[in-house]
């Protein structure tokens, strides 16, 4: 498929796909005329990239991780492994952080609700 279709299927912009390629996250074969062609697998790959992006990984970090997905027996997978562990830690910490923030929001909302109820009771 061409880039427009991949963009539609993966739910990202064409611009982003070209950017991913520029960053070495995605490769494509080119038609005689120079247009990018993709396979079905690339849809999943882009989805995975998106997932990592929304997890807050930079394209730089993703670049280091993806080889592990591509050639899962690489010699240099040691570095990738280390990287993954590190990112997993970061993720866990961040998740904890978000949970605490959500709790804080809940406290705020409960307080606000109490105020509202009190006002209502008076009225």
CA atoms of 10 and 38, how far apart (whole Å): 12
- Interacting residues with a copy of itself (CB under 8 A): 48, 51-52, 54-55, 65, 68-69, 72-73, 77, 80-81, 84-85, 87-88, 91-92, 94-95, 97-102, 104-106, 108-109, 111-113, 115-116, 118-119
CA atoms of 112 and 115, how far apart (whole Å): 5
CB 17 within 8 A of CB 7: yes
* Pick 14 or 43: Cβ nearer DNA: 14
Find, among 7, 88, 96, 95, the residue nearest to 43 by Cα: 7
Does 45 participate in binding DNA (rule CB under 7 A)? no
Residues that bind DNA (CB under 7 A): 2-5, 7, 12-16, 18-20, 23, 28, 31-36, 53, 58-60
């Amino acid at each position: 498929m061409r880039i427009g279709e991949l963009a539609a299927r993966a739910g990202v912009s064409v611009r982003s796909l070209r950017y991913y390629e520029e960053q070495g996250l995605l490769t494509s074969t080119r038609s005689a005329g120079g247009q990018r062609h993709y396979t079905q697998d690339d849809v999943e790959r882009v989805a995975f990239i998106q997932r990592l992006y929304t997890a807050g990984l930079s394209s730089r970090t993703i670049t280091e991780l993806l080889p592990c997905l591509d050639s899962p027996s690489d010699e240099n997978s040691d570095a990738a492994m280390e990287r993954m562990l590190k990112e997993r830690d970061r993720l866990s910490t961040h998740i904890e952080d978000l949970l605490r923030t959500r709790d804080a929001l809940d406290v705020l909302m409960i307080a606000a609700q109490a105020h509202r109820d009190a006002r209502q009771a008076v009225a």
